[in-house]
Amino acid sequence: MRAVLIAAFACVFAAGLAACGAPAPSIGPDNGGDGARSAPDLRLDRDPARARGEALTIERVFGSPSLSGPSPRGLRFSPDGARISFLRPREDDRTVLDLWAMDVAGGRTYRLVDARALVPQEGELSEAEIQYRERARISETGVVSYDWDDEGRAILVPLDGDLSYVDVESAEARRLTETPEFETDARISPDGRHVSFIREQTLWVHDLETGEARALTEEGDGPVSWGVAEFVAQEEMRRFTGYWWSPDGSRIAAARIDETPVDIVPRFGITAEGVNVADQRYPRAGTPNALVELWVINVASGERVEVDLGEETDIYLARVNWSEAGDRLYVQRQNRMQTRLDVLGADPATGASAIVLSEAAPTWINLSDDLTPLEGGGFLWTSERTGFRHIYHVDAEGGVRALSAGEWAVDRITGLSDDGATVYFEGWVETPLERHLYAVAFEGGSPVQITSGAGRWSASLGEGGTAYIGTYSDPDTPPHTGLYAIDGSRIAWIEENALTEGHPYHPYLAAHVSPEFGTLTAADGRTELHWSMLRPDHCSASTPCPVIVQVYGGPLVQTVTRGWVNPRDQLFPAHGYILFKLDNRGSSNRGHAFEAALHRRMGIVEAQDQIVGLDYLQGLEFVDPDRIGLWGWSYGGYMALMTTLQAPGRFTAAVAGAPVTDWALYDTHYTERYMGMPDENAAGYEAGSVFAHLDGYETPTLILHGMADDNVTFDQSTRLFAALQARGERFDMMTYPGERHGVRPPPLQVHLWRTIFGYFEREMAQTRTPAPDPSAP
C-alpha cells in the first residue's frame, strides 16, 4: 500500500494533480498545494444578493437528499493503497447506503456496489441484526458495512442477511451464502482463504476456494452464544464483535457467552399490528451479568484452548488484540466495579496468561480502542492516569513511558509512521471545542498540529503514515472529505461538498444562523463550562425571544463544539426560538475530574449546572425570561425531567424523550460505572431517581418513548406515567409503536418533530415572537 501511495504522491508533486487525472487544488485556503496549513474556505456564501431564500421546514430537514450534503462514511484505504472506499447515501433516498470507491492515483470516483441493484428489495432484519444496528446507531439500510481482503482485490458485502464477495476490478458480485438465517459480523481472514461470520449464535467459516462452510463452535442456542458481543458489550463498551482473527489467519480468538444468570425482562414490542412479547436478557443494575469465556480456535483442526481470565468470573471482557507476530493475545479484563482494568498477555497455544499492565482509579476506568501492537513486542496505549487521556508506550516487559502530557485530552490514536518514529493522534489540545490531527515523536515531546481551521477533524491514516483521509467541518462548513499528505496539504477531494448553488442546503442559506460561543462558571463556583447559542437576528431588547435549552448532560458526550450545525438545530431559529446548549460537569473531553463530578450522584450536579445556564439566560436582554423551554433525549430526557423538577416552575415547558427515570432499572455496565451498586449507594440511587423529586413537578412536560425500546426500556416511562397520574398531575405523552431507543424512519422523525414544536408552540404561545419570513421583501 505504501508504495502505491508514494507513487501517487510523486505524480502529484512532480506534475500537478491535473496531470494525474484529478482536478488541481486551489492554492491558499484548505491546506493548498503549497503545503500551507490555513483554514478551509468552503463556508457559507455571504453575498447580499442571496438575501431571499426558502423557509426551512421539518419535512425538508428529514427529506432526501440530506441538507448537509453528501457525507461519505466508513472511509478506508484499500490494503494495497490503490483505492479509498466509503459508504454514501443515495440522493433519492438518504436511508439507503451504496459502496463507492476512489482511485488514489487518478482521483476517479465511482459506485462499486449499488445496494438496490444487488438486492432490489431487502427483507426483514433478524432480531440479532436489529439489535446490533440499534446498538451501533445504524439507521440506514443497503450496504451498512464491508470488509476488504488483505490484497485489496475483493470486498465482502453483507446485504439482506447474506454475503457477497465483490471483485473490485470487474465489480462482479459472487453470492457466498443464500440461507433463511442471517449471517452477521462477516469478515475476510487475513490470509484471504476464509470468510467468517455468525449464524444462529454460532461461529462459522466459509472456505473461499472450495465453497465449503462449517461451524467452528457448537451450543449456539438459547442463552449460549459464540463469537458475539453481549448486550452491555455492544451498548456500553462499544465492542461489537466477539471474535478476533490471528494475523496469519490460522486461529480465531472467540468469546463464549452464557446469559443463563441474566434476568429475563419481558419486553412488549408494541407495534401497529399487535404486541410481541420478547424475553430479553437484560442485566439491570446490581443483578447478575453474563458469564464470559475466551477461547482460541485452530481454524484447520477445530481444536480449541481456553484463555485463563483469572479466578473471578464476575468480570467484563473489554477488548482483545493479537500481537503483531500473532504469538500473544492482549486481553483487557475489567472488574465488575470498573475501577480496575488489566491487560493480560496470553499464550494462544496454552491459554496461560499474566498481567502486563494495570490501570486503577477510585471512580472508574474509561475504555478505549487505542491498544496498538508494535513490531518486536509491546504496544501503544492511552490512559487517563494523570487526569487527562494521553499516549504511552508499553514495552514487552510491561514498562510504561509517556509520549504526551498536559491538561488536554487525546481523543484516539490514528496511526504510526512507517519508521515507527512518529505517532499520530486526534485530540483537543488548544481548546475542547476543536479536534485536530497531531503528530508526536515516539520518544515523546510536544505535539505538532497537522490540520488547520477552527473546527473538527476526523482522520484515517494509510499504512505507514504517509497520507490520511481527512474530514473537516465548522459551524458554517458542512463536512468535506479529502485525501491529504501527512504534512496536511490536500492531494484530492473525495467529497468537496461546497455550499454553492446546487448544494441541498444552498436554498436555505439566507436563514442560516451561526452559533455564538461562551463560557459560564459552574455551580461549584470554579469550573468553566462551555455553551453555544443559535440566536435569530430579530431577537433584541425590544423583541425578546423564547429559548429552548437542548440538553444531554451525561458522560461520554459533548454537545458544544465548533463543528457543522445539524440542520435540525436550525429549525429552532426558523421557528423563532433561540437554541441554547451547555456542557455541564459530567460531559466529555474535559478531563476525568470534570467527568467524574457526577460520580455516585447522577442527576444532581448536572442539573445544578443547567440551572446556572437558566440563570444566565434569564439575565440576557434579548431573552424573554418567562418563555424558556427544555428538551432532551435519552440521558437528555432524564436531564429534562431532573432539571425541571429541581427548579420548580422556572421552565415554561419541557420535552423528555426516552428518559431514564430510575437508575435501578438501567443496565449494569453503564449504571454501576457511575453510581456503584444499588445496595451500597442506596442514597445516591434514590436522589438520582425522578420519583424522589416529583413534589417539584410544576413544569408542563411532554414525554416521548418508543414502545419497543430495548435500551431504556418502556417501563421507565410507564412507571412515571402512573406516578404522575396518581398525583393528579397534567402531562402529555407520545409513544411510537415498534420504535426502539431511537425514532429513526424519516416519516416518524417528521411526526416526532412536529409534535415537539407543536407542544412548545402551545405551552409558550401567548406572546411568542415569530421569526421573520425570509421570503418577504
The active-site residue, picked from 530, 693, 705, 741, is 741
Distance CA 306, CA 255 (A): 10
Q: Cell numbers for 580, please give them.
A: 441554547
Long-range contacts of 352-360 (CB under 8 A, 24+ apart): 352/308, 353/307, 353/308, 353/309, 353/310, 353/329, 356/330, 356/394, 356/398, 357/381, 357/394, 357/398, 357/400, 359/383, 359/385
Distance CA 51, CA 488 (A): 35
Give the residue ranges of DSSP H helices in 548-655. 567-574, 592-595, 605-618, 635-645
CB 176 within 8 A of CB 167: no
> DSSP secondary-structure letter at 536?
-
Distance CA 183, CA 502 (A): 40
Distance CA 480, CA 39 (A): 13
Distance CA 491, CA 469 (A): 10
**Rg (Cα) of the chain, in Å, rounded?**
26
**Reduced to 3 states, what is the DSSP secondary structure of residue 741?**
coil
The residue type found at 422 is T
> What are the strands, taking DSSP E only, across 263-408?
264-270, 275-281, 291-298, 304-306, 315-322, 329-335, 340-346, 353-360, 372-373, 379-383, 390-394, 400-402
741 as an active site residue: the answer is yes
709 as an active site residue: the answer is yes
The torsion angles phi and psi of 681, rounded to 5 degrees, stand at -135, 50
The active-site residue, picked from 709, 710, 715, 717, is 709
User: Closest Cα partner for 163 from 184, 136, 189?
Assistant: 184
User: Closest Cα partner for 17 from 491, 384, 700, 562?
Assistant: 491
The active-site residue, picked from 532, 634, 689, 717, is 634
Distance CA 773, CA 777 (A): 9
Q: Cell numbers for 142, please give them.
A: 443497503
Question: Which whole-number Å values give the CA distances from 532 to 42, 274, 456, 626, in the listed order?
Answer: 22, 43, 15, 20
Q: Cell numbers for 249, please give them.
A: 489467519
What positions carry a catalytic annotation? Answer: 634, 709, 741
